[in-house]
Amino acid sequence: MANGLQGVLKPTRHTGIPIKKMRIATLCYLFLAVSILAVPAPLAAGQNRKLAADMVTDGQPIDIGSQRYRDLFAELERKHGFARKELLDTFRGVTIKRRVLELMDHQWEARPWYEYWPRFITPAVVREGREKLRMYRRLLDRVEERFGVERQYLVAIWGIESGYGRHKGAFRIFQTLNTLFDAYPRRSEFYRGQLISFLLLCRENGIDPRGVTGSYGGAFGQTQFIPSSFREYAVDFDGDGRRDVWSSVADIVASIANYLHRYKWKFGAPVYVELGGRLRDARLEKVCALGRRGLIGWQELARLQKVELPPAPVTGRVTIVKLEEGPDRMRYVAGYPNFQAITKWNHSNRYAMAVSLLAQRLAAGAKDKKS
């Protein structure tokens, strides 16, 4: 640094500006440059997300006197008819769960396909899924007839979401939703809405908010619905007057079917079609890079990729899904509207592909059994 300054401050000839003033001006510019360099660079997205967990202590009380909670309580009272005392009693003593924030930044959907799918599709999962198809054959007949969704996809989602009910999650949902609303800025507004939906569904179904357990993302039951999805899509299929996604198999598979049905699932239509190990046109690369938001007409895709494709029902458009078969090996598939319906359940293309793969294996087992 000393040698650099000496070079900068060396007297030079300059008409009209005294050397002394030049030195002062140069020092000012240097001070400004050093000041700019000293300002920390903005954190990368991943660093910002990790910071949420680093800035809180596990068990730290949530400040229900803060402005965000005052606004929340005001909305719950004004719009939804909750009493202030009821809210204070419900929220009093709620604390931050730091582990929730840590897990939110290490989700499996970010893993490459070759690491992702073996976690969910194991021989044991396939065997049990085939057993569920046999065990609940008559129920699934009725659900298929009512909602128009193939049974193997219902059982596949059931298996991946909760291991057919064995893994419903041990996080207290009310604490989880408050943690994500209060201490996870990236999705705070989303979880504010989920917190409201959760309180409403608990009131509607006579459930103690503090008694529900589920995942670190705020999902619960064997369907792993988030609160807004439960209120919108859960159904009472066994006729007992309750929408029970915790213990009623009829309600569980029918609720999954209702969700896909509402997103225009077409019975018997393609879910995905293979495109090969590479894309043959730069326009297809651009569509693929947009993920599930990238849509292209099935006929244009067939023309550019030089493959034969079946028609895409409903919208006529498909997505292009890239799957990492290995560190240096890619596979591409066309995600049809039925595939897109699965991504409405979980926004990850890898998740939708895992459901599709498991459903194929379950269906293959059912055919083997019949033959």
Asked if residue 49 has pLDDT above 90, the reply is no
Q: What is the CATH number of the domain that holds 83?
A: 1.10.8.350
Asked if residue 348 has pLDDT above 70, the reply is yes
Domain coverage including residue 21: 2-38
The number of beta carbons lying within 10 Å of the beta carbon of residue 56 is: 19
- 203-215: burial string, b at 16+ Cβ within 10 Å, e else: eeeeeebeebbbb
Residues 279 and 195 placed together within one structural domain of the fold = no
Residues 183 and 325 placed together within one structural domain of the fold = no
Residues 186 and 284 placed together within one structural domain of the fold = no
Residue at 226 is within a domain: no
Residues 282 and 352 placed together within one structural domain of the fold = yes
How many separate helices (H) and strands (E) can be counted in the chain?
A: 18, 6
Q: What confidence tens digit (pLDDT) does each residue in 91-122 have?
A: 999 999 999 999 988 766 678 999 999 999 99
Q: What is the CATH number of the domain that holds 356?
A: 1.10.530.10
Residues 200 and 94 placed together within one structural domain of the fold = yes
What ranges in 223-348 are assigned the alpha helix state H? 227-233, 249-262, 282-289, 298-305, 337-345
Q: Is 369 exposed, middle or buried (0-12, 13-18, 19+ CB in 10 A)?
A: exposed
pLDDT tier at 366, thresholds 50, 70, 90: low
Give dist(CA 355, CA 345) in Å, integer.
Answer: 11
Residue at 253 is within a domain: no
Provide the 3-class DSSP secondary structure of residue 317. strand
Catalytic-residue membership of 161: yes
The number of beta carbons lying within 10 Å of the beta carbon of residue 268 is: 8
Residues 197 and 322 placed together within one structural domain of the fold = no
Provide Rg for the chain, Cα atoms: 28
Instruction: Estimate the share of the chain in helix, then strand, then coil, as percent rounded to the nearest 5.
Output: 60, 10, 30
Residue at 11 is within a domain: yes
Give dist(CA 243, CA 136) in Å, integer.
Answer: 19
Dihedral (CA of 136, 139, 144, 149) sign: negative
Give dist(CA 210, CA 193) in Å, integer.
Answer: 18
Residues 29 and 94 placed together within one structural domain of the fold = no
Q: What confidence tens digit (pLDDT) does each residue in 191-222 have?
A: 999 999 999 999 999 999 999 999 999 999 99
Residue at 278 is within a domain: yes
Tell me phi and psi for residue 97, to 5 degrees: -105, 100
Q: Residue 95 has what DSSP assignment?
A: B
Cα 116–Cα 100–Cα 356 angle in degrees, nearest 5: 25
Task: Return the half-sphere exposure (C-beta side, CA atoms, 13 A cut-off) of residue 213.
Answer: 6
Q: 180, 205, 230: which is the final residue of a domain?
A: 205
Residue at 362 is within a domain: yes
Residue at 151 is within a domain: no
Distances (CA, A) of 43 to 39, 47, 57, 84, 180: 12, 6, 21, 40, 20
Closest alpha carbon to 250 in 240, 259, 265 = 240
State the pLDDT at residue 53: 61
Q: Is 220 exposed, middle or buried (0-12, 13-18, 19+ CB in 10 A)?
A: buried
Dihedral (CA of 179, 181, 185, 187) sign: positive
Residues 65 and 198 placed together within one structural domain of the fold = yes
What ranges in 55-111 are assigned the alpha helix state H? 67-80, 84-91, 98-104
Q: What confidence tens digit (pLDDT) does each residue in 124-175 have?
A: 999 999 999 999 999 999 999 999 999 999 999 999 999 999 999 999 999 9
Q: What confidence tens digit (pLDDT) does each residue in 282-323 have?
A: 999 999 999 999 999 999 999 999 999 999 999 999 999 999
What does the block give as tokens for 175? 């604490």
Q: 50 or 4, which is more confident?
A: 50
Number of independent structural domains in the chain: 3
Residues 181 and 323 placed together within one structural domain of the fold = no
Residues 195 and 301 placed together within one structural domain of the fold = no
Tell me phi and psi for residue 200, to 5 degrees: -65, -45
Give dist(CA 330, CA 114) in Å, integer.
Answer: 10
Residues 63 and 200 placed together within one structural domain of the fold = yes
Residue at 201 is within a domain: yes
The one catalytic residue among 102, 161, 204, 308: 161
Mean pLDDT of the chain: 87
Q: What confidence tens digit (pLDDT) does each residue in 52-74 have?
A: 566 677 788 999 999 999 999 99
What does the block give as tokens for 332? 């591409």
Residue at 189 is within a domain: yes
Residues 199 and 291 placed together within one structural domain of the fold = no
Whole-model pTM: value is: 0.82
